[in-house]
Amino acid sequence: MHIVAVLAKVGLVYIGAIFLIFALFPIRELIAQLPKGKLKTNWITLATLIVIFIVGYLFYATDYWLDHDHNDGFDLVVPFIFFFGGIFVFLVGKLSLKTASDMRKMAILEHQSITDSLMGINNRRYFDQALDDEVKIAKRYGLPLALILVDVDRFKDVNDTHGHLIGDEVLRNLAKAIKNIARESDVVCRYGGEEIAIITPNTSLEKAMILAKRLNETVKKSTMALSCASQEEIYITISLGVSSLNFGEVSSRENLLQRADNALYDAKRNGRDRVVTLQDSEKGS
């Protein structure tokens, strides 16, 4: 019975060590998914501590096995602590990896739900919510807010001449060009079709005009695609309508959006390839 008790105690400790070893696999996979930083360093530290525990488990079990003067009063408390400690760490490692994987999937799904699959920028759903939020913030704190609507001139001609695949490439490169020029605080979204909306928080109409004119000049000078047949460089022009909150007549998201749309319509009607402001729109009416 004595040897059976010894085997039971040593076995529990060894099995606990095995669970610790298996715990390293999900933790190692988790560490590989983490970006460099404090969080990754902490998990590496934890993995190192687990290795130290494994060595301690094995040393304890081996030393107990080789010790022929076992205390008969020694019970199973310590071996069980070692055993369940190993299981605990194993489960923590598995659950941590599963939680991280699920959160990553949720983040990907959330990103996909607010991202336009063609242009790679925020979609109309995101735009509607963002505009609501920015208008509320601007009104609450009395901050300026401007909106720019961008439309590709004669985009149908691009599709008819070069095909829809080239048209899609033009839209993708246009979105990239706008993202490169827009500030980090600006919200760039696909508004619909070949239209792009840019929400510019804490920005006056004058500053929004400067940004819009810069976009107009940059786009017309940039190659947006290459023709499949002739490898001809394809250039486009854009029309832009700009409006801003003034806390008078233009005091809601609907007003802001309608004025920007009116300004864009005037830009298209008056020759395209131009920037029209809210005031310009009103003068033309």
Query: In whole angstroms, what is the distance from residue 90 CA to residue 25 CA?
Result: 9
Q: How confident is the model over 234-268, as pLDDT tens digits?
A: 999 999 999 998 866 667 889 999 999 999 999 99
Single pTM value for the model: 0.67
Q: Indicate the pLDDT class of residue 285, thresholds 50, 70 and 90.
A: very low
Q: How confident is the model over 96-120, as pLDDT tens digits?
A: 888 888 787 887 777 778 899 999 9
3-state secondary structure at position 146: strand
The CATH 3.30.70.270 portion of the chain extends over: 124-284
Catalytic residue among 194, 195, 217, 249: 194
Q: How confident is the model over 165-205, as pLDDT tens digits?
A: 999 999 999 999 999 999 999 999 999 999 999 999 999 99
Structure tokens at 180: 């490169």
194 is catalytic: yes
The DSSP output letter for 122 is B
Span 200-222, average pLDDT: 96
Domain 124-284 has CATH 3.30.70.270: yes
Of residues 9 and 164, which shows the higher confidence score?
164
Cβ-count burial of 256 within 10 angstroms (0-12 exposed, 13-18 middle, 19+ buried)?
A: buried
Query: In whole angstroms, what is the distance from residue 178 CA to residue 157 CA?
Result: 21
Let me know: does 127 contact 256? Beta carbons within 8 Å: no
Query: In whole angstroms, what is the distance from residue 253 CA to residue 261 CA?
Result: 12
